[in-house]
Amino acid sequence: MAITVYYGHTDNRLGFDLEPVKDYINKNILNTSGMKNTLLISCPAFKDEINNTFVVKSIYDYNIKWDGENITSSMYDQDFFNRFLTIRSISDGFISYLSPTPIFVAESNDLVMSQINAQFHDNDIVNKCIMIPGTFNIGKHLPRKIELAIKFKQPGEIKINEGDALFYVKFLTEEKILFKKFIWSDELERLTIKNLEIRNYTRSIKSMQWWYNFMSQHNLKKYYLTRIKQHLI
């Protein structure tokens, strides 16, 4: 039995389809004379680890430089920089790259998803940065964008190419995942932003369980799903 996961982007830049990590590994890592005989892909522990894990790719070319004191880019204009980069700490080279910013919403009321490092890929994000992972239940939480939070390992430049793997998303279930794309509407954007603003105006950091309870108490899951299904593509 498949679990339906609705998949969109906050800015509706649809970009690339999600590629199963196991397909990438089969084509690019195990498809060599030496690796073909290792039986790695048949290892139960390895198969479980990469099951229901998908690649989220960059839809743009970009570069980001950190010299220890400044974070800059030589590509495009300041508007692009302001829209797609959030500087979290200049002194530590800690940023968030906001393209793409996918949203995942499960039809099921209980599906945990993790955002993890794209460890099987070879690019500057993987090699020159530390990616900050995270886990939450996409069947219980408010729909929220997934951003790439990274810390430079050392001062330098990272080059992001169109199609580069930025991170993986892993769904913690043995059931097959059935993706359905949707358009993220202005109505849902406003509703989500207004409710997530709670984080900015209280002294306490709300736990994941607090957010799950909030979603349930206000019956927001039904509201979101009804409108998402009206905007399937």
Structural domain harbouring 60: 3-229
Which residues in the chain come in under a pLDDT of 50? none
Name the average pLDDT for the chain: 89
Provide the number of structural domains found in the chain.
Answer: 1
Enter the pTM of the model.
Answer: 0.89
Per-residue pLDDT at 36 = 61
Question: How many whole angstroms from its chain centre is CA 205?
Answer: 22
pLDDT tens for 46-100 read 888 899 999 999 988 999 999 999 999 999 999 999 988 999 999 999 999 987 7
pLDDT at 142: 87
DSSP letter string, the chain: --EEEEEEETT----SPPEEHHHHHHHHTSSSHHHHTS-GGG-HHHHHHHTTEEEEE-SS-EEEEE-SS-EE-SSS-HHHHHHHEEEEETTTTEEEE-SS-EEEEESSS--EEEEE--TTS-SHHHHHEEE--EEEETTTSPP----EEEEESSSEEEEE-TT-EEEEEEE--SSPEEEEEB---HHHHHHHHHHHGGGGS-SSPPPHHHHHHHHHHTTHHHHHHHHHHTTB-
- Structure confidence at residue 166 (pLDDT): 95
| Rounded Cα gap, residues 50 and 177, in angstroms | 13
Measure the CA–CA gap between 131 and 9, rounded to whole angstroms. Answer: 20
Which pLDDT score is estimated for 197?
A: 84
What pLDDT score does 47 carry? 85
